[in-house]
Chain A
Amino acid sequence: MSPAPAGSARLERRLDAVGAYSLLVLSALFALFPVAWMLSTSLKSEAEAFALPVRWIPQRPTLQAYVDMWTLKPFGIYFWNSLVVSGVTALLSTAIGALAGYGFSRFQFRWRTALLGGFLATQMISGVLVIGPYFQILAAVELYNTLTGLIIAYVTICLPFAAWMSKGYFDSIPKELDEAGLVDGASRLQIFLRIILPIAVPGTVATLLFGFLLAWQDLLWALCLISIDEKRTVTLGVAFTVGEFIIQWPMLTAASLIASLPTIILYLFLQRFYVEGLARGAVKG
Chain B
Amino acid sequence: MPAGRTWHDRHLGILFVLPATLLLVAVLIFPAFITLKLSVTPEGGSGWTLTLIHYQKAFRDPVLLQTFKNTFAFVALSLVGHFVLGLALAIALNQALPGQTFFRLLALIPWTIPDVVAGIIFRWLLNPIHGALNPLVRMVFPGFPAEFQWLSSPTLAFPSVIFANVWRGYPLVMVMLLAGLMAIPRELYEAAEVDGAGRVRRFVHVTLPGLRMIILIALALDMVWEFRRFALVLTMTGGGPGTLTEVLSTLVYKSYFQFFTFEYASAMAILMSVVLFILSLPYIILVGRER
Contacts and interface: CB of A to CB of B under 8 A. Distances in A.
A119 to B, nearest CB: 7
Interface stretch (B54-62, B103-111, B153-161, B203-211): B103-111
A197 to B, nearest CB: 12
Nearest to A22: B92
Nearest to A192: B16
For chain A, the bracket of interface size reads 35 or more
B287 interface: yes
B1 to A, nearest CB: 9
Contacts of A283: 213, 217
B28 A125 contact: yes
A37 B117 contact: no
Interface-centre pick from A17, A34, A52 (highest chain B CB count, 10 A) = A34
Given A128-B252, A159-B23, A283-B217, A24 B92 contact: yes
A268 B171 CA distance: 12
B83 interface: no
A1 B105 CA distance: 44
A159 B221 CA distance: 17
Interface string A148-189: 000011011101100100000000000000000010000010
Interface stretch (B31-39, B44-52, B72-80): B31-39
Contacts of A146: none
A23 B92 contact: yes
A106 B214 CA distance: 29
B170 to A, nearest CB: 9
A133 B27 CA distance: 9
A276 interface: yes
B17 interface: yes
A260 B13 contact: no
A24 B224 contact: no
B199 interface: yes
B40 interface: no
Nearest to A235: B116
Given A35-B121, A242-B120, A127 B92 contact: no
A226 B231 CA distance: 16
Given A238-B116, A268-B105, 17 more contacts: A19-B92, A54-B130, A103-B14, A104-B17, A107-B10, A109-B14, A126-B269, A128-B248, A129-B32, A130-B32, A133-B38, A159-B24, A188-B12, A242-B123, A259-B114, A260-B113, A268-B112
